[in-house]
Amino acid sequence: MPRSFSRAEQGYAPNTNGTPRVYGPFALDSFTRDDTDLIEWTATVVDWPPDQGLVLAEARVSWNIGYESMQPICGGPRMKDGTPMALKRERVWVPREGPAGKGGVVSGSVTLTVHVAFRTALAAQALAA
């Protein structure tokens, strides 16, 4: 399995009855505690709704040891100067807690729970700090 994945731009939508829909998991593995400190995922911003308070989706990074992290993907992402953002980037550090600590982490996955339809290209990779 790969240390990274990439999905071409496509539409992501909730279920037809309006309930959230889960895409993935997109797997990442073949890494060790010595060569990976974090997972970085990116999403291209393609005509997203302008409302910064609107949660379009939740990106969830899960680890083989049972821990997970969730970041919301909101509409209208902006740079610090107020210009529209072209790429949303988040980093999730490898957990160091648990019975095996960081040494027990050898794989992870990313899922996307979609609440509001939007378009994006997705990518993630395992990185050293």
Going across the sheet that includes 68-74, the strands are 21-29, 107-114, 55-63, 68-74
Q: Is 10 helix (H, G, I), strand (E, B) or coil?
A: strand
**Predicted confidence (pLDDT) per residue in 11-53, tens digit:** 999 999 999 999 999 888 777 667 788 888 899 988 888 898 9
Amino acid at 16: T
**Predicted confidence (pLDDT) per residue in 104-119, tens digit:** 777 888 899 999 999 9
In angstroms, rounded to a whole number, what is the distance separating the alpha carbons of residues 28 and 25?
9
| Dihedral angle sign, alpha carbons of residues 24, 28, 29, 30 | positive
pTM of the entire structure? 0.83
Domains and CATH numbers, the chain: 4-127 (2.60.120.380)
